Amino acid sequence: MEVSPRAAMIIASLFEKATGQVLSQERFWRIGTTLTPFCRARGIDSFDQLALTLERSADPELSLDMIDALLNNETSFFRDAMVFSLVADQILPQLAASRQREKRLRLWSAACSTGQEAYSLAMLFADQGKRWDGWKIEILGSDISRSAIQQARGALYTQFEVQRGLPIRQLIAWFDPVLDQGWRAKPALTSLVTFMRHNLLGPPPAGGRFDLILCRNALLYFSPERRHQMLEGLSLALASDGALLLGAGETALGSSSRFVSDPKAQTVYRSTAYAGLSDAA
């Protein structure tokens, strides 16, 4: 289906308003490829018709679904396996020592897509069983995509999804087969994780600061100003001695003076104040 410049502008501006992401003119082709099947499935004959419905705010569900369809939800279990080894072998032992009195840990998988990252974190705890006896472990997964959060809450993954990154031992230990549908995470994992819809451009989730935040492969979609805004929000959400993990191709340096990179581990950031450096913007 052809996308007229006017329809593309309306769709892109709605997408930007909802997510903060800019669909520049060079990427308008994405509207055609992603939304043609979306329109066909809903009996919408043209992008002009779609744009008109959106412009009139005639169907809020349609607009939410369209935004979800345009988002890139690429993710997998234990994505970048070395990051999870780093969390299991270095970050969690440090936190276990510093939170020994409270015996409470809060982790945030921000922009978690369909939840694989949050459940991968939960498996680190479940695998260590007794080590965390008596601890209160809270893992929050959040994303702006309504459909992604819906799948994350259902904890149900297809055979294809579990084959991407989930070792067979952990699949058998922590998931139950569901006939003709795939695999569902067991209560041992789901009891550790909650999910919510959340926009990284808004205020951080309530409930206190997080000891560890993973916000991976999301910042790269935003303008420098928005990246700065998101990192400000993440700095408010992070405990003073906590750790922020970004994706392999991402950095907080140059985007925020609130974080410094951890000299011992690439992609790990610490609060500037904690590292004893100037906090000036």
Ligand X SMILES: C[S@@+](CC[C@H](N)C(=O)[O-])C[C@H]1O[C@@H](n2cnc3c(N)ncnc32)[C@H](O)[C@@H]1O
Among 139, 144, 189, 246, binds ligand X (CB under 6 A): 144
61 versus 74: smaller Cβ distance to ligand X: 74
Establish if 229 lies at the interface with ligand X (CB under 6 A).
Answer: no
230 versus 272: smaller Cβ distance to ligand X: 230
How many residues touch ligand X under the rule CB under 6 A: the total is 24
Establish if 92 lies at the interface with ligand X (CB under 6 A).
Answer: no
Secondary structure of residue 117 in the 3-state scheme: helix
145 versus 272: smaller Cβ distance to ligand X: 145
Which three-class secondary structure string do you get for 226-281? Answer: HHHHHHHHHHHHEEEEEEEEECCCCCCCCCCCCEEECCCCCCEEEECCCCCCCCCC
216 versus 272: smaller Cβ distance to ligand X: 216
Single out the segment in contact with ligand X by CB under 6 A; choices: 3-11, 70-78, 119-127, 265-273.
70-78
Tokens of 268: 């790990």
Cβ(218)–Cβ(249) under 8 Å? no
Establish if 66 lies at the interface with ligand X (CB under 6 A).
Answer: no
Q: Within 17-36, which residues bind ligand X (CB under 6 A)? A: 19-21
Tokens of 81: 């396996």
Establish if 69 lies at the interface with ligand X (CB under 6 A).
Answer: no
Place of tokens 């581990």: 265
Task: In whole angstroms, give the CA distance from residue 31 to residue 148.
Answer: 19
Establish if 143 lies at the interface with ligand X (CB under 6 A).
Answer: yes
Q: Within 96-135, which residues bind ligand X (CB under 6 A)? A: 111-113, 117
Single out the segment in contact with ligand X by CB under 6 A; choices: 47-55, 94-102, 160-168, 212-220.
212-220
Establish if 218 lies at the interface with ligand X (CB under 6 A).
Answer: yes
DSSP symbols for 26-46: GGTHHHHHHHHHHHHHTT---
- C-alpha 13: how far from its chain's center? 22
106 versus 198: smaller Cβ distance to ligand X: 198
Q: What's the min distance (Å) between Cβ of 42 and ligand X? A: 21
Buried/exposed code over 261-277 (b: 16+ C-beta within 10 A; e: otherwise): bbeebebbbbbbebeee
Interacting residue ranges for ligand X, rule: CB under 6 A: 19-21, 71-75, 79, 111-113, 117, 143-145, 148, 199-201, 216-218, 247
